[in-house]
A and B are shown apart, each in its own frame.
Chain A
Amino acid sequence: MKKSVNRSLAFLILLALPCLAMAQPAQDSLMRSNGRIYVVIAVLLVILLGIFLYMFRVEKKLKKLEKEARD
């Protein structure tokens, strides 16, 4: 039960992300330079990091199962 409460809270925080992203200063040179190509880089980084973190979580599950099979 506690796990599912924690999970729901994390999920709600993730859905509130756009609000955080938009609370930014009106002027910053890096993200808007070179035709805003850094926005694409940021998007790619988020996707890759997200997928890698997810794969680590899947592997953790597998490790637990392997340990159970050994015992």
Chain B
Amino acid sequence: MNKAASLAEEQSDGGSVLRLSGSLAIASLHDLPDRLDAVQGPVETIDLSDVDHMDTIGAWTVHRTAKRLGSQISGAHPDAQRLIDTVGALDDPVSIHPDSVPALRRVVGQIGEAVSTAGSTMLGLLGFFGATLVAAWSLIRHPSRFRVNAVVQRFEVVGVSALGIIGLMSFLIGIVIAQQGSVQLRQFGMEMLTINLVGRLTFRELGVLMTAIMVAGRSGSAFAAQLGTMKLTEEIDAMRTIGVSPMEALVLPRTLAVIIMMPLLGFYASILSVLGGAFLCAIALDIPPITFFQRLREVVPITDLWVGLIKAPVFGLIIAISGCFQGMQVKGNAEEVGLRTTAAVVQAIFLVIVIDAFFAVFFTWVGWN
């Protein structure tokens, strides 16, 4: 429909003339801007009498060329002239790109920012933990404000609905430990020790640790996303104005639910892991389940179970607190909810593993090994 824009250079007595023709619109410009950029001045006039259509992008192209080469614009249709005048009047310095920072300063700045963020997050987490304790204390003094329904509802979401996935995961982990352990132990002819390995490892460490990771992924993230969204939609502010404390109504029920559910889920996971180990031993090592469980009772001290069960509520507390804390930190936009949810899960798993290391040292120190 529209003719492509084209360009011709001519010499006349008044100096050189740049003759543009066709349609100077974005769709028909093609390589005209580049060709205009290649023109070296001086050019006396830019002649637009053969231009049959122009949009602001064409007008801008003409304007910048005329400005660069110091030329006059002639022969423009009144409409075209109006567009050129309009865009010419808009030719002010405008910042387009963010100010660039030298690489060294940027790197140092980013490291500093990361350190200060990590520090303030830890501090904030500690503060949030304190606020939770204060809320818990006020709830103990006014037990009538305790929200039983909210807690029980969280029991279901955090605990009961997680049974399937945690059970399956633990069963498979039991199988993997038994299988990998038996391959190594066979070299020493001590396949029976597979039972020690499965029993002690799952009750002491893996049962609770894997449950904590799963709960952090399922519930910690959900807490962060729920509270974050409520923060964005100003639900939490609305709660405060009505006089309901979000700590009591939202954070405490969730925290309590996870603290109570974690030992139960951890115990359940350990049992399922042992079953997985027994299953593999029966199939691959010809150790009948009866023998497996008899030996399990002999080699796994009851303190191993206590080790797992003592750690579980602490892990639960960490998961719930970091999920709720990150959720409450959301402000601004929807993107923040995603970032905070990720942060909640990463932080929870990291802290769980750090605390687990401390527990390992502690239990060795008290002689439960």
Q: Do A and B come from one complex?
A: no
Which residues does B use to contact A, with CB under 8 Å?
Answer: none
Which residues does A use to contact B, with CB under 8 Å?
Answer: none
